[in-house]
Structures are given as structure tokens and as C-alpha cells.
Amino acid sequence: MIQEPMTAQLTPPVSERDHTQGPAAAPVTLVEYGDYECPYCGEAEEIVQEIQELLGDRLRFVFRQFPLADIHPHAASAAEAAEAAGAQGSFWEMHELLYQNQDRLDDRHLAVYARELGLDLDRFARDMAEHRYAGEVQREVQSGIESGVQGTPTFFINGVRYKGSWDGPDLLAALEQAAA
């Protein structure tokens, strides 16, 4: 069993390596460790989108990969597909498609999503076949483990693990308090 730090801190802090939405100077940063095949992460995705709309420029959102490959057989490939799309400037578009299609994350469908996004399909196929972004996904998983993540979704607000309910009202209240 993983020992959780007394006060779970985000390790490493958010940097230019992360996938972010919103201004870097926003008063509050929400980091999510997620798994594209996790149904709870799919629910959280909708909540995070609503919160982003409500908070606007007061929120920077960061997504880090944490595929639970032992229970979600397509999660690691989906994470690699998001990273491969990100290398072509389409991380967030792929991120959204993966959550919209959580029950269709096999390799054939990942290629369909790459085509829908207008990615260089040869490059995408090569990246996936060579597992070019598996190392990046593993680095994010390791950072999650070092930060005390044990499941998905797990959130951090301004670098500190959020342990409350991630339903809309509770998470929004915590974010508004952190932004104040």
C-alpha cells in the first residue's frame, strides 16, 4: 500500500511540460490526475468544464495522466494517444474526444479520432506503434504516486491535495476560496 504524505503536495509543481488551460497567472490552479477510461473521471470532466466556464481567467486547469491499466485495459493507450495528439498541437481536442468516447478507446478508434482531428496520421500511427509517449505518461504516473495519488480522479488546488467531494458545488467552493 502506498503511504500518503501527511499533507499531500503536488510533485513536481506545474511547469511548461504540463498541459494547461487558462492563464499561468490565475489565482488558482486545479490539477487533475485522470484516466480516460475511468467513469468517475468522465463525470469529473463535465464538472471541471462547468467550473472553468464559471471561473474564467481566475482558473488555470492542468491535466496529468494517471491511467489505471490494471483495471482499465485501454487507459494507457488512450493516454499515449492524447500525448501524441499533443505533440501535434491537439492535446485538448483529443482529451475531449477520449472522454466523450470512453467506451471506444481501442487502437482502431484512437486512429479514427486522430483522423477526425486532422492529425498527421502516419506520424500518429508511428508514435503509437513505437510507444513514443509511454515514458511521458509514466513520468506523470510517477509524479502522481509521489504526490500521494491512489486513484482517479485526484485533484490538487494550488499544489495541495483536495480531499473533499469533487461534485460541482463543493469543488467550486474550494476553488473560489483558494482564489480569494
Give per-residue pLDDT as tens, 98-115: 999 999 999 999 999 999
In a domain, 10, yes or no: no
Containing structural domain, residue 157: 19-179
Is the pLDDT at 160 greater than 80, yes or no? yes
How far is residue 136's CA from residue 44's CA, in Å, rounded to a whole number? 23
User: Are the C-beta atoms of 153 and 34 separated by less than 8 Å?
Assistant: yes
Average confidence score pLDDT of the chain: 95
In a domain, 5, yes or no: no
In a domain, 104, yes or no: yes
Is the pLDDT at 180 greater than 90, yes or no? no
In a domain, 128, yes or no: yes
Tally of domains in the chain: 1
Q: Which residues contact 141 (CB under 8 A, 6 or more apart)?
A: 65, 66, 67
In a domain, 1, yes or no: no
How far is residue 127's CA from residue 138's CA, in Å, rounded to a whole number? 15
Task: State what percent of residues in the chain have pLDDT above 70.
Answer: 96
How far is residue 95's CA from residue 84's CA, in Å, rounded to a whole number? 11
User: What is the model's pLDDT at position 29?
Assistant: 98
Give the E-state strand segments of 68-116 in sequence order. Answer: none
In a domain, 167, yes or no: yes
User: What is the model's pLDDT at position 120?
Assistant: 98
In a domain, 6, yes or no: no
In a domain, 12, yes or no: no
Domain of 106, CATH number, reads 3.40.30.10
